[in-house]
Amino acid sequence: METPADIHFSTLMSVEVSVSACFDIMRAVIQRVLSASVQVGDDVVSLINRGLCVLIGIGLDDTEQDIEYISRKILNIRLWSNADEASDQRWSKSVQDLNLSILCISQFTLHATLKGNKPDFHYSMPAEKSRLFYNQLLEKLKHDYAQDKIFDGIFGAKMLVNIANDGPVTIVIDSKIKKHNATSSEDVTE
């Protein structure tokens, strides 16, 4: 029979494993926007009107399966209302359904942990390998959606990102969720 101390220890171990496992993921912070832009120095390098601004964090152990999952979710997540419907169906249209743009920003800081008060980024994939994965994600989005609808900043540059968040609506998607819910019909069919 388990004692309260055994149960507490078991719960703590489970939390510790869950926290460390959450960094072996590709993370997308998806924001529904009225407009978004990226500026490097004095130059605006990308600008979109209505659509999605997506911050992408690539983890140490990410694979092509993570790219597939995150790409599919970005393109299919339903964040807009159907204006043609008489009902109050608020979450029925995707960026593809409405032919909107997507601005992607590579952001290694999405995997930060704190050591005291200082951020540590050792759960982020190293820059050169991460650049390849990020470019693969962009190519996947362009292939599965439209070349002229996918925009991005400059990988590794210090960027000024401006958004007009619509709602505000911000959704965080981690590829690890897919790995743990492989039998979910949503992950298999969408």
Half-sphere exposure of 143 (CA within 13 A, CB side): 10
- Consecutive H or E run containing 6: helix 4-21
Distances (CA, A) of 183 to 21, 78, 177, 186, 189: 19, 21, 11, 9, 10
- When mean pLDDT is compared across 11-15, 107-111, 144-148, 181-185, the lowest value belongs to 11-15
β partners of residue 74: none
pLDDT in tens, 105-145: 999 989 888 999 999 998 899 899 999 999 999 999 999 99
Backbone dihedral region for residue 189 (phi beyond 0: left; psi -120 to 50: alpha; all else: beta): alpha
Mean residue pLDDT of the chain comes to 84
Structural domains of the chain in order of their starting residue, each with its CATH number: 25-189 (3.50.80.10)
Q: What is the pTM of this model?
A: 0.80
At 74, give phi and psi (nearest 5°). Answer: -60, -45
Angle at CA of residue 66, ends 62 and 67, nearest 5°:
105
Quick: pLDDT tens for 146-158: 999 999 999 999 9
Tell me how far apart the alpha carbons of residues 168 and 57 are, in angstroms, rounded to a whole number: 21
Structure token pair of residue 161: 């990102």
pLDDT at 151: 98
Taking only the tens place, the pLDDT of each residue in 54-93 is 999 999 989 999 999 999 999 999 999 876 555 567 789 9
Three-state SS at 100: coil
